[in-house]
Chains A and B, each alone.
Chain A
Amino acid sequence: MSRLEVLKTYKIYIGGQFPRTESGRYYTPLNKAGNPLANVCLSSRKDFREAVVAARNAFGSWSSRAAFNRGQILYRIAEMLEGRKAQFIDELILQGATNAQATTEVHTAIDRLIYYAGWCDKFQQLFGTINPVASSHFNFSVPEPTGVVSIIAPQSNSLLGLVSVIAPVIAGGNTCIVLASETKPLCAVTFAEVLNSSDVPGGVVNILTGKPNELVKYFADHMDVNAIIYCENDATHHKLIQEKAALNVKRVYFYDKVNWQSADAENPYFILDTQEIKTTWHPIENIGGAKAGY
């Protein structure tokens, strides 16, 4: 007897839960051959609002975790991803990649997570400074996470692109809301399942699926979002984001020229993008004959 295959329901990921979109709307992305891939949630602004609340709630404990622990958790994501490699490769192929492309993409994504896991407790030394000042102060600057980051992920590299934008943001202690690739959303939802089973606290990463055209405005104008990352080269979106982000002076980053496959796509400056530099003036007695203040 032939068996009907059980198709997976692709849901969104908010606050460590997998709800359906509150709007009750779905869309059906197609593969290259024009066949439907799956029914995927068409998230609304209210889903985004819920996700921001979850991200804000998660921020306090995530940012105050030991950096080393964050590194362990990122490493754990990579381990879990390794274990489910086959599923990701299948999904990438479903979405139109060749077997070789899919395998490379998954491998690169895993390696990239390991790369940022290592940076978690090291970028502070690289970007932190001890500053020479003229008064009797020990003066130093350290990077601190900016807060909640909204991300519109790359459209083309549905797994690698997603991982490449999420990893540096959470490695730095931020929490985020990510809008997955509109045309290739399958890996994003499966990646959420990986996150959910790898010690990442609920709310640190929230993943929505849907249309950038609908949601860009809200990603850019929400007053409780501290930075926005946008990965496409759409001039109208760029303009809209810059205008709306000005409302609460968000940090705005356009990663539209990055080739996510290349080695240039991983470096600690991506972490620095969502950091704020805090400088502390600590009074001390004069040290050194020349009254050098540090």
Chain B
Amino acid sequence: MIDTNLSLSIPDFTVSPRIDQVGIEERAKRFTTRSIKTSSKVSLLKLTLNMIDLTTLEGKDSEGKVKQLCYKAQHLHDTYPGLPTVAAVCVYPSMVKIAKKALGNSGIKVAAVATAFPSGQAPKDVKIRDTKYAVAEGADEIDMVISRGKFLEGDYNFVFDEIAAIKEACGNARLKVILETGELVTYDKVRRASDIAMYAGADFIKTSTGKIQPAATMPVTLVMLEAIRDFYYKTGKKIAMKPAGGISKAKLAVHYLVMLQETLGKDWMSNEWFRFGASSLANDVLMQLEKERTGVYQSANYFSID
């Protein structure tokens, strides 16, 4: 449901801004050439850790796996004093209760992927029940997928209504809308889907499920960040961003943070407004932090397995 306080006028999504492909890719490449000094690097790496949604979304996920992940979320690398924790743990709805219990009062949120993740190929009422179940189990955040088939057919009203309905089902939980940019093909469509999601009530827009290649890329994320910026200028409402999938190296994460800072500015530089959906990023960041602390290149042997 749309927040009526904003009194938004719903724009015609068919005329969402077109994206200059060459321009956006060049611009995204520029962010990778910033010189970042050691002290800034260390604080960016810590911020990265604090923005991670530690994720396990496998068919083989078990209670033990989720508990272990929750333990890791709270104890990233105990030999390094003063590390932040991750932002959230991201699991399937059936694992929410276990994660919630394992995380206790650590302040780490539980995010659940709902709405027939990752394909989204289910009837609307099933998706709504999926969402309500996850919320009832205690999820703080819901990651939904849009109906890409309908979107590509041009049925934007369907996509809009579905997001709005899921938003309503979320209650107080924050809603992340996964566009699955790998299936949308063009930047124009990514921009349009971002606009639809934001006007329909998304709290976050998220690039990918992590199940489709390509997942998050810097140009796609930049398109979405610019959509967020334009939406903010128009409505005054801040929307958060979550690139997910394919970000497994600390260096790349730092490039994303540079892009975030230079596109949306300081106000977005916290885990309330930006997240990384990742499973293996945390270890690489930890290795880089240890490298800065000890002055010695690290080995994966001395860090947790996943």
Interface residues of A (CB under 8 A from B): 49, 52, 218, 221-224, 247-248
Contacts and interface: CB of A to CB of B under 8 A. Distances in A.
Given A221-B296, A223-B301, A224-B299, 14 more contacts: A49-B297, A52-B297, A218-B297, A222-B297, A222-B299, A223-B296, A223-B297, A223-B298, A223-B299, A223-B302, A224-B300, A224-B301, A247-B296, A248-B299
A107 B109 CA distance: 67
B27 to A, nearest CB: 24
22 contacts: A49-B297, A52-B297, A218-B297, A221-B295, A221-B296, A221-B297, A222-B296, A222-B297, A222-B299, A223-B296, A223-B297, A223-B298, A223-B299, A223-B301, A223-B302, A224-B297, A224-B298, A224-B299, A224-B300, A224-B301, A247-B296, A248-B299
Contacts of A247: 296
Interface residues of B, number: 8
Contacts of B301: 223-224
A49 B295 CA distance: 13
Contacts of A218: 297
Interface in B279-298: 295-298
Q: Binding site of A, secondary structure by majority: helix, strand, loop or mixed?
A: helix
Interface string B61-82: 0000000000000000000000
A52 B298 CA distance: 11
Give the interface centre of A221, A223, A224, A247 by most chain B CB atoms within 10 Å. A223
B252 to A, nearest CB: 14
Nearest 9 pairs of A and B residues by beta carbon: A224-B299, A223-B299, A222-B297, A221-B296, A223-B298, A49-B297, A223-B296, A223-B297, A247-B296
A52 B297 CA distance: 10
Contacts of A221: 295-297
Give the interface centre of B295, B298, B299, B300 by most chain A CB atoms within 10 Å. B299
Contacts of B298: 223-224
A222 B302 CA distance: 12
Nearest to A49: B297
B303 to A, nearest CB: 10
Nearest to A148: B299
Nearest to A224: B299
A109 B61 CA distance: 53
Interface in B252-305: 295-302
B13 to A, nearest CB: 44
Nearest to A244: B296
Nearest to A223: B299
Contacts of B297: 49, 52, 218, 221-224
Nearest to A222: B297
B300 to A, nearest CB: 7
A223 B296 CA distance: 7
A52 B287 CA distance: 14
Contacts of A248: 299
A49 to B, nearest CB: 6
B291 to A, nearest CB: 9
A49 B299 CA distance: 11
Contacts of A223: 296-299, 301-302
A127 B174 CA distance: 63
A223 B300 CA distance: 9
A223 B295 CA distance: 11
Contacts of B299: 222-224, 248
B7 to A, nearest CB: 54
Contacts of A52: 297
A228 B98 CA distance: 46
A60 B295 CA distance: 27
B134 to A, nearest CB: 38
